[in-house]
Structures are given as structure tokens and as C-alpha cells.
Amino acid sequence: MNIKTSPWVKRFDFSMFTAWLFTGLALAVIAITWFGKDFRGYYAAARVLMSGGNPYDYDLVAQVLLQATGEMGNNPYYYPPWFLWLFTPIASLPFQVARTIWMTFNFISWNIGLWRLSEIISWPAKGWRLYTLFTVATCVFAWITWKYEQAGILVFVMIVLLILSIQNQKTIWSGILMALLLIKPNITLLVVIGISLWLLRKGQWRAVLVMVAALVVLFSISTWITPDWFQPFLKKGFGQGLTVVLDGPDRVIALRLNTTLLHWLAAIGVERQFHMLIYGICIFLGVLIFFWAVYRSQSLLELVSILLLISFALTPYALQYDYSSLVIVLFWALSLCVSSNKALGIALLLTGFIFSVIFWQQNIAWGFWIVVALTALAILGMYQKTVKNTNQI
């Protein structure tokens, strides 16, 4: 009997498949029962938009927040205007009902996104190893996104769909997805620019043209709906919710910690005078790697993974709940290490370290250790790829 098809292996495969789904379901239920934060902002801004107001006017949004949820909190709206179109169908529903729909959407999207990602990479094969990796990824990347009710999972799924659409030469969908990915430009702008340059290098300009056209249409419709949507941008203190914690438009209650290189350097005790020097060196290296990846990568998955790492390493604003897309880097880098048992062992140790971060991190800035470990894992994977290609010559 082939051990891979034995009844016990099949039972173990099913057990781990069930564990993955139930772990995710349990974490989603815990998130919606005891946590939750940022859906408040989406919901309130969508209601302001539906009433004919400007969703970027935090005075208006704060009043809806107070009426719908009982507190104002730190929920100014900073996304592109069209992001709210996703929430208008549920914004007329009671707040808790709308929250449940958003959480259900995120739970289903995450699991579908993982499944489609595994089809792109084809490693590990379907079975207990894959479902164990799914479970680890859910704990590391999905849990905190669900906890804060953020849009990171939506970005992750769109990137997976973008990879598939480019691979299948679906030009229109590729361009539309690249335009929609800019709902979070702080983490996707470099990715979209890099993919656009890569496509242009290969003579595939139509998807880029569709992206530009889609952005023009989105901005035009947004301006038609809310002609003065950009006015609050000109007011003093518009973006302060990105750097401080607010409780309504006029009350600052704390400074914000981000999951970025600069905040991580402070968290691990690096002297402040060295922060900008280290950041500058990282930017220089990031720019070099960016252009190397765009002009040398033959694999779209490799390109996207490298671009994601550069983006999260250098962005001046990101939080750990934005990290969902980094699961792509994890799967890609691990798949490069399977040709060597030693390399795979080191890769699994790094994966274990990434998993451990969620248990011992002291605050959200410490989450940047995930980017550090994924960078090490990517370097190991690229080295193994080079060794493998050299041995095949």
C-alpha cells in the first residue's frame, strides 16, 4: 500500500483540513465578539456618503460614529472615495449586522485566497502539510486583520487574483485589479508601479493602459458624486489620525505606534540618531533591488513577492493588520527551499520564528520582526534557487 494513500494519512489530512477551517472560524468569532475597530470608520463614512455628505469630513463621520456605535474614536476616513462603494450596500443595515457581513466576507475571502495561492505555487501538495501551513498563516496574518476589521485580506485576495489574471492574459481584469489595489497606496503603490514596469518591459502595455483608464473613471465618478471630496485635505490637521490616536475630531489621546522600520528600530533600542541613517541605507538598497527585480525577474510570483517585501520594509505608514499580503512571500520563499533538506530545515525554523512573534511581541511595532524574518527567508530561497540553477547547467 502506498503510504501517501493509506487510510491513516487520509484521516490525518482531513483532520488538519478541519483544524485549519475551525481555527479560522474560532478566531473570526473571537474577533467579532471581543474586538473590532476599523469597520466603524468604513460604516460611518459610507453612511455620510449615502446622505450626500463628504466622507473625508471627520466632523460628519464622528457624529455618525457616535450615533451608530456610541463613541467617536479614531476613525477618520483616508481611503480613496470609491472604496466606500463596497460598503454602501450594507451601510443602511444595523451596525452589528453590517459588521457580521463584513467579517463573513473576510473569512471566506481569506480561505479562498489561500486556496488559490496554493494553486499558483503548487507547494506543498494538498494534504496535512499544506493545511498546517494554512493554519499557521491564518494565525499570523489573518487573525490581526480580523481583530481590527481591516482591509488587508481584501488587498491580499486582489493581489492573488491579479497574478492569476496576468498569467491567464486577462488584460482588462489585470488593469482593473491594479487600479483597485491602490485603495491602500501606502503598501501597494510600489507593487503596482513595479508590476506596471515589468509588464511594459514585456510589451504588455494594454493592462497598464486599462489601469490608467480605470483610475480616471473612478476619480471622475467620485467627483461627480461628491464634487468637493478633496476639500478636507486642505484643512490643517487632516492627516493627524495617522500619527496620533483621536477620540473625535478635536481630542488627541495618544501617539500611534506603527509596524514600520523606524518604529521597530525604536522598539528594539537603537539610538534615535541612527534611525534615519539606517532608513536611508534601506531605501537605497530597496531602490536597487526594486529595479533589479523589475528588469531581471522572469517569474511574476517572484516579482510580486520581492515588491511586497520592499514595500513593507520601506513604507512610512503600515500596521501589522496590513501584513496579510505577506503570506504570498512566505509561500513563495518556502517553495524555493524544498530542493535541500538543510535549507528547508532552516526555512521551517524561520517560519516557526514568524509564528512565534504573535505570542511574545510587546506592541504592534514588534510585528516588524515578521518582515525581518521573511527577508531572511527570501534571501535563503533566492540563494537555493541560484544553487539549483547552477547545478543544472
Q: What percent of the chain has pLDDT over 70?
A: 96
Position 125 scores a pLDDT of: 78
CA distance 227 to 221: 9
Mean pLDDT, residues 215-232: 94
Mean pLDDT, residues 259-263: 96
| Chain segment 273-291, per-residue pLDDT in tens | 999 999 999 999 999 999 9
Taking 70 as the threshold, does the pLDDT of residue 380 lie above it?
yes
Taking 60 as the threshold, does the pLDDT of residue 4 lie above it?
no
Q: Return the minimum-mean-pLDDT range out of 253-262, 270-279, 314-323, 363-372.
A: 253-262
Position 238 scores a pLDDT of: 78
Give the residue with greater pLDDT, 338 vs 177: 177
Q: Is residue 46 within 8 Å of 93, Cβ to Cβ?
A: no
Taking 50 as the threshold, does the pLDDT of residue 109 lie above it?
yes
CA distance 110 to 116: 10
Q: Return the minimum-mean-pLDDT range out of 26-35, 93-102, 252-261, 372-381.
A: 252-261
Q: Return the minimum-mean-pLDDT range out of 4-13, 230-239, 317-326.
A: 4-13
Taking 50 as the threshold, does the pLDDT of residue 1 lie above it?
no
Mean pLDDT, residues 156-164: 98
Q: What percent of the chain has pLDDT over 90?
A: 79
| Chain segment 11-64, per-residue pLDDT in tens | 888 899 999 999 999 999 999 999 988 899 999 999 999 999 999 998 899 999
Q: Return the minimum-mean-pLDDT range out of 90-94, 133-137, 244-248, 371-375.
A: 244-248
Position 376 scores a pLDDT of: 97
pLDDT, the chain, mean: 92
- Label each residue of the chain as H, E or C: CCHHHCHHHHHHHHHHHHHHHHHHHHHHHHHHHHCCCCHHHHHHHHHHHHCCCCCCCHHHHHHHHHHHHCCCCCCCCCCCHHHHHHCHHHHCCCHHHHHHHHHHHHHHHHHHHHHHHHHHHCCCCCCHHHHHHHHHHHHHHHHHHHHHCCCHHHHHHHHHHHHHHHHCCCHHHHHHHHHHHHHCHHHHHHHHHHHHHHHHHCCCCHHHHHHHHHHHHHHHHHHHHCCCCCHHHHCCCCCHHHCEEECCCCCEEEECCCCCHHHHHHHCCCCHHHHHHHHHHHHHHHHHHHHHHHHHCCCHHHHHHHHHHHHHHHCCCCCHHHHHHHHHHHHHHHHCCCCCHHHHHHHHHHHHHHHHHHHHCCCHHHHHHHHHHHHHHHHHHHHHHHHHHHHHC
Q: Return the minimum-mean-pLDDT range out of 104-108, 204-208, 232-236, 376-380.
A: 232-236
Q: How confident is the model at residue 3 (pLDDT cuts 50, 70, 90)?
A: very low
Position 116 scores a pLDDT of: 95
Taking 80 as the threshold, does the pLDDT of residue 378 lie above it?
yes
Q: How confident is the model at residue 80 (pLDDT cuts 50, 70, 90)?
A: very high
Position 393 scores a pLDDT of: 59
Taking 70 as the threshold, does the pLDDT of residue 2 lie above it?
no
Mean pLDDT, residues 287-299: 94
